[in-house]
Structures are given as C-alpha cells and as structure tokens.
Structure 1
C-alpha cells in the first residue's frame, strides 16, 4: 500500500500547489477571488492528504504485498480475484421502474409514480434475492 500512499501524496501536493494559484488567478481576472472553487480545491487537498495518512499508517503495519516488493514474482500475486456475478436482467428492470417514476414526477402523473414504485419494489426484491433461487442460488 506504499505505492497508493505515494500516489495520493502526490495528488495532495498537486492540490496544495493549485489551490493558491487558482485563488490568485480568479482574483486577477474577476477582481474578487472565487471562494467556492478555492475552498473546494482546499478540501480536495485535505481529503487526499487524509487518504495518504491512512494508507501510509496501515502500510507500516502490514506485511509487504507482492506488488510492493521489487523482488516479487508475478506468480505470487496469483490467486482468487473475487466473486464476479453472471449477467442479470434485474438491474434493467430496476432502472426502467425508476425512469417511469421520474417521468411520472416530471409530468405530474402521480398514478405513474405509484405504478413505477409498485413494479420497482418487485424488481428490487428480484435483484436482491436473485442468488437465493434459480441456477445461481447459494
């Protein structure tokens, strides 16, 4: 995790340099500095610094991963990468129900919102419980 800490540290350093430059550039062009953008850049710098400190702190306590060592072999990083679900139709139905509800709100047709919410509840239940029944059940 040392590499990740260095990447976020470089990002924090970038925003540390860019924030005052942005403040001076907006002050020169607009007369008054743009406080919204300046504060947003400063908060982004602080967020990157927070992640840097977290990763750096935990990198010292962890054993070195293969990607953190220069003498590591490619085979050391092999293994199970995680669980990848198969294709599913449920996200499509959830998105269509949400689109129906948003369209109903935009058009003022509240009956369409109610229909979309009812069908959306069924679609959401199907999406959540798809691994409890059928071919891919656990």
Structure 2
C-alpha cells in the first residue's frame, strides 16, 4: 500500500505545482477568463490528496504485503488472490437503461426516462442480488 500512497502523493505534488501555473497562464486572476479549469484542478488536487492520505493511513495499519518488502520471494505471494466474479449480463442492462434514460432527458421524452428508470431499477436489483440465486448463489 505504501507504493500506491506514494503514487498519489506524487500526483498531488504535481497538481499543486500545475494549478497555480494554469491559473497564471490563463489569466484567471484579472479577467476571470477560466475559473472552470482552475476549479477543476483544485478539486482534482484535493481528491488525490484525500486518496493519498487514506492509502497512507491504511499502509501504517496493515502488515507489509510481499510486494512491499524488499526481502520477499516470489513464493511469498502464492496462494489465493481473492474472489473474482464470473461473467454477468447485468452490467450490460444497467448501462443500457442509463443510456436510454440519458437519451430521454436529451430529447425531452420524460415518458422514456421513466420507463428506462423502472427497467434500470430492475437491472440494478438483478446486479446486486446476482449471488443470492441461480448457479452462482453463495
């Protein structure tokens, strides 16, 4: 986790340096030319700092993983890596429902938005409860 925390610390430092430079180059201070980009960079800086702090705190609380230790062997990383879900059609239907909802808003067809929202709710329930029924039930 320490490596991941350092990656986000480096990104935060980069953004701390780039944000004032962007603000100065776009002349947002005098004429208000581009507050949008400056605001986006400030928020991105704060978000990367938040992730870096979280990963740093978690790295202190965790035991060192094999990839974090300099004296680790390849065999130290052997074993189960975690749970990986099998194939699923539910994300496709969730994405399709969201696409139709967005299309309904774009063309001011609220009836289409409502129908797609109901179908999206069904698809989301199917995605959430996928491992409670069927062949992949736990």
TM-score by length of 2: 0.73
Moved more, 112-121 or 123-132: 112-121
| Alpha-carbon distance between aligned partners in 2 of 1:58 and 1:10, rounded to the nearest angstrom | 18
> Aligned pair in 2 of structure 1 residues 95, 77: CA closer, same or farther (>3 Å)?
same
What per-residue deviation string (whole Å, max 9, x for no partner) do you get for residues 36-72 of structure 1? 3223222322332233233333333332221111111
Task: Describe the SS at the equivalent of 2:36.
Answer: helix
4+ runs deviating over 6 angstroms: none
CA drift at 1:25: 0.8
- 2:134 is the alignment partner of 1:127: no
CA drift at 1:106: 4.9
**Between Structure 1 and Structure 2, whose CA radius of gyration is higher?**
1
| Unmatched tracts of structure 1, length 5 or more | none
| Alpha-carbon distance between aligned partners in 2 of 1:14 and 1:120, rounded to the nearest angstrom | 40
CA drift at 1:136: 1.6
1:1-138 equivalences under 5 Å are 1-27=1-27, 32=31, 34-106=34-106, 112-113=112-113, 115-138=115-138
TM-score by length of 1: 0.73
